[in-house]
Chain A
Amino acid sequence: MRAVVVGAGEVGSSIAASLADSHEVVVVDVDGDRVDRLTFDIDVLAIEGDGTALETLEEADVAAADIVVASTDGDETNLAVCGTVKTLSEAFTIARVKRTAYLDTWQQTQGAFGVDFMVCSDLLTAQAIVRVVGLPTARDVDPFAGGQVQMAEFRVPEGSPLAAQTVREADRFEGLTFAAVLRDDEIEMARGETVISPGDKLVVIGSPESVQAFAAALVREPAGDVSDVVVVGGGEIGFLTAQLLERRGFAPRLVEQDAARARVVAEALPGTTVLSHDATDLDFLEREHVGEADVVIAALDNDETNLLVALLARSLGAGRTVAVVDEGSYVDLFEAVDVDVAVNPREVTAEEITRFTREERAENVAIIESDLAEVLEIEIDEKSVLRDRPISEAVADLPASVVVGAITRAGERITPRGDTVVRAGDHVVVFVRTEDIERVTAAL
């Protein structure tokens, strides 16, 4: 497959890098230095030029491209790139935007701006945060099969009732499949005899209700419903997070230092209490009882400040802390110093774009633990090894790392058992190690 990436900023270059392994990639950027650097860093063809200009796109040969990703920093530029590409080529166009107004327009009018798929990184990040808030102790939650199935990653806390149990003992949740146990950055497939210990991360796949029930069983005293949420930072991510929380019935508090921006946020969010102050001021945090919050979300522009805010909130006694981390390599570091969940916008964006660059028929993807494994949703066709066979027989033809987590047939959810027979047209949600993905997608 041939892919053209316009705009080689942080997101653009990371997409180019992840595609370069298995595809032909052309990168276009206006910055000559950046183009030079890319040429040496990764195995792509880098072209200097304006991605909205016809001659640049012709030079990049978009007519032969299968996919074009517009990921410059300018929303309008990205839309113009996609619109121009459509005049030259049949390629699938992906645009990255910041303003949610464009996303709304695109969603309401099929194919507006010549964009086939639109990715709003800030909104994706906000959605990822809000999914995590909804499930106590969850680190990552992704919906599959139109929301019928959820994939969730949990960390087992100290003193959890499930600690020291085997997977077979813990597996008592109707409709829930244990996919894997992550221990010291190693993936262990969930076998019946695997013993769960504190600090482990568990990946489960199942119905939203069963995931909810599992989340409650994981902690000794179910904390009850999360009600008090504090969002620190009124930037686009913080704003969208508060907005999504409002829509889910929360009445969040949002702290934004800049008075003018705080006013804008307060005007747009009637259900949110907006406070205009420096969120690293300990007196202020105490006065506003931030320590009594169930969840504190640090969504400022600066990673270091986010870390500081999360740690301050933790020291005051906040229930859980979520931090936005721009620098991907900090994610583990943050979680090592007691930030419960670190969300990386670029990882979230890459995950979303990867959905459409998968060569095979994967319809939905979640990336586990910085690309150690993936959860895929695949529609079974006539050639699949799973078709018309019980799962217990079919797995022999698949790598050992594959777990069939859930099946939906005509919108109905089926809990997979060894004797379940998969038919053509079924959607299966599978857990796969990253190194086996090519083989698995080919076989299914």
Chain B
Amino acid sequence: MSRAGTRRGLVRALRVEWRASVSLVGTVVKWLAVALLFPFAIALADGRGVAAIGGTIFVAVGLGYALERLDPDPDLGVREGFLMVALTWGAVSVVGALPYVIAGQGTVALPVNALFESMSGFTTTGATVMGDISLVAHAPAVMMWRQETQWLGGMGIVVLAVAILPELSVGGAQLMDAEAPGPGIQKLTPRIAETARALWKAYIGITALEVVALYALHLGGLAPNMGLYNAVAHGFSTMATGGFSPEARSIEAFSAAVQWLVVPFMVAAGTNFALFWHVMNGNPERLWRDAEFRFYLGVLGVLAALASLLLFTDPSILVHPDVGPIAGNLESSLRHGVFQVVSIVTTTGYASMDFNDWNSAAQFLLLLGMFIGGSAGSTGGAVKIVRWYVIGKSLRRELFVTVHPEAVRPVRLGGRTIDESAIRGIYAFTLLYLVCFLLGAAFLLVDASLFGRGISTFEAMSAVAATLGNVGPGFGVVGPMGSYDGFSVASKLVMVVLMWIGRLEILPVLVLLTGAYWRS
């Protein structure tokens, strides 16, 4: 058989109706224009950024319609679903990058930087390449779009699409499964669109609560610079566990009262939203009975106590130049310890102070925290607390079975037992996650070394852990007050991919790279 014949054979053997997937991606992109109306209104009121946002709306609608025409009657199978979810996140990130490019201000105007910023926004990472973060250097409309991308990505663009687009109701459960954080989704209602709506309602409700609470602090005189704009901006990025802030110094820029108030909302953002749905339906006891939630609070508590203790007893940061006394000051060391641990473990990525000034023990605790992640079904990233819980229990089972070889001991999560195949899936995911982390760190170090930008191993590792886990800030140059702008284009693109696969939990993207996916 000739070479041309082989290629034709391959094309004919393609078993994925990619047109259907792309057409639905077009629908989602088209609807992105509606989300852009909010910053557009700000632009109209403010006068700056009208072209940036308006132009993007124009592109979103046009591109969306064009893609939709590829397949007027899309029919999603399992494989098309994976492709659709993966492409959706790529497409919205590309379209979402346009306001930065059109506005043309600062480092973020460079296309690769704009894509990095946009992907970092939608994936709720919060890693930034902006050099000068302020409402002076950038239009308030563009900065609000930056916050809003996080909020849209938090509960999930595809979940939102399932909630409002009737054509996605049939394959919706599988689409949400591919996108939602954690192993498997919980259907709360008989119809998947209802479930998606319930999750978004809980999400919108808690976000609104935070905005009101933050603004109330401002009105009460406890937060002078937390105006309505900042309250909305931080509501968007807290509940998404995003981490972007229109303030260059992140949450350090606000009063202690604001920092304390943000902590419970970050904890809530890292909680399974299905639990809030149960609470709103009059079953608050479901929250305390949930094994994952209790374990999550326990991990947060232990790490926060350790970090606070390290801050309290460290004589090297007796008085910090930016935030005042820490060591020996109970309130301040407790506040920064708790805030930073919650921020990192839930993968929010806010900073109440520059933790580059912490000692190495406390910094290492935070690096560990980057791998823990929020609960399944939350907006948090990384490995997810439930996977570590299951791994811990199954390892304990291994030890028991070593002593009693005949013992049959199912792994339990709360009252339910977990399938052995699900446990295998959890091990596979976690190992894959660690492999991605190691390879990513190796790439960054090699790339930096070849092109003469020396970065330390710790910096490279933290950068990869922070992007793959959708955390945001790392240590050193990529610290909470720093920027990812110093990396080469290749390294930035690798991190864009890391954020993308990290948000979708690797497998739905990786499966697209296998031959078996494309063939029958």
Interface residues of A (CB under 8 A from B): 255-256, 259, 262-263, 265-267, 270, 273-277, 284, 288
Contact = CB atoms under 8 A, between A and B. Distances in A.
A273 B405 CA distance: 12
Contacts of A263: 408, 410
B416 to A, nearest CB: 9
A227 B404 CA distance: 19
B513 interface: no
A288 B412 CA distance: 24
A266 B408 contact: yes
A284 B406 contact: yes
10 contacts: A255-B406, A256-B408, A259-B408, A263-B410, A266-B409, A266-B410, A273-B404, A276-B408, A288-B404, A288-B406
A288 B401 CA distance: 12
A274 B417 contact: no
A259 B412 CA distance: 18
B408 A270 contact: no
A274 B407 contact: yes
Contacts of A255: 406
A274 B401 CA distance: 11
A148 B417 CA distance: 39
Contacts of A277: 406
Contacts of A265: 408
A41 to B, nearest CB: 44
A262 B408 contact: yes
Contact of B410 (A256, A267, A275, A288): A267
A273 B406 contact: no
Contacts of B412: 270
Nearest to A256: B408
Interface in B371-416: 404, 406-410, 412
A374 to B, nearest CB: 42
A259 B420 CA distance: 14
A333 to B, nearest CB: 31
B407 A275 contact: yes
Interface in B80-119: none
Contacts of B404: 273, 275, 288
A263 B410 CA distance: 7
Contacts of A267: 410, 417
B400 to A, nearest CB: 9
A277 B408 CA distance: 10
A267 B409 CA distance: 8
Nearest to B418: A267
Given A267-B417, A273-B407, A275-B404, 4 more contacts: A266-B409, A267-B410, A276-B407, A277-B406
A288 B408 CA distance: 14
A256 B410 CA distance: 15
A265 B410 CA distance: 10
B415 to A, nearest CB: 8
Interface in B141-181: none
A422 B357 CA distance: 87
Contacts of A266: 408-410, 417
Contact of B409 (A256, A273, A284, A288): A273
Nearest to A234: B408
B337 to A, nearest CB: 36
Interface string B275-304: 000000000000000000000000000000
B197 to A, nearest CB: 33
A277 B406 CA distance: 6
B403 to A, nearest CB: 10
Nearest to B407: A275
A243 to B, nearest CB: 15
A262 B410 CA distance: 10
Contacts of A276: 406-408
Nearest to B400: A273
A284 B409 CA distance: 17
A160 B404 CA distance: 38
A120 to B, nearest CB: 24
A284 to B, nearest CB: 7
Contacts of B406: 255, 275-277, 284, 288
Interface centre among B404, B406, B412, B417 (most CB of A within 10 A): B406
Contacts of B408: 256, 259, 262-263, 265-266, 274-276
Nearest to A265: B408
Nearest to A266: B408
Nearest to A260: B408
Contacts of A273: 404, 407, 409
A275 B407 CA distance: 4
Contacts of B409: 266, 273-274
Nearest to B409: A266
Contacts of A270: 412
A315 to B, nearest CB: 20
B252 to A, nearest CB: 47
A256 B404 CA distance: 14
Contacts of B410: 263, 266-267
A268 to B, nearest CB: 9
Contacts of B407: 273-276
A284 B405 CA distance: 10
B422 to A, nearest CB: 13
A262 to B, nearest CB: 4
A43 to B, nearest CB: 50
B419 to A, nearest CB: 10
Nearest to A275: B406
A179 to B, nearest CB: 44
Contacts of A284: 406
A263 B409 CA distance: 8
A274 B404 CA distance: 10
Contacts of B417: 266-267
A410 to B, nearest CB: 38
A275 B404 CA distance: 8
A281 to B, nearest CB: 9
A265 B408 CA distance: 9
A274 B407 CA distance: 6
Contacts of A256: 408
A416 B412 CA distance: 52
Interface in B16-50: none
A284 B404 CA distance: 10
Contacts of A288: 404, 406
A273 B408 CA distance: 7
A176 to B, nearest CB: 42
Interface centre among A255, A270, A284 (most CB of B within 10 A): A270
A259 B409 CA distance: 11
Nearest to A259: B408
Interface string B198-228: 0000000000000000000000000000000
A270 B407 CA distance: 13
A142 B407 CA distance: 34
Contacts of A259: 408
A54 to B, nearest CB: 38
B436 to A, nearest CB: 33
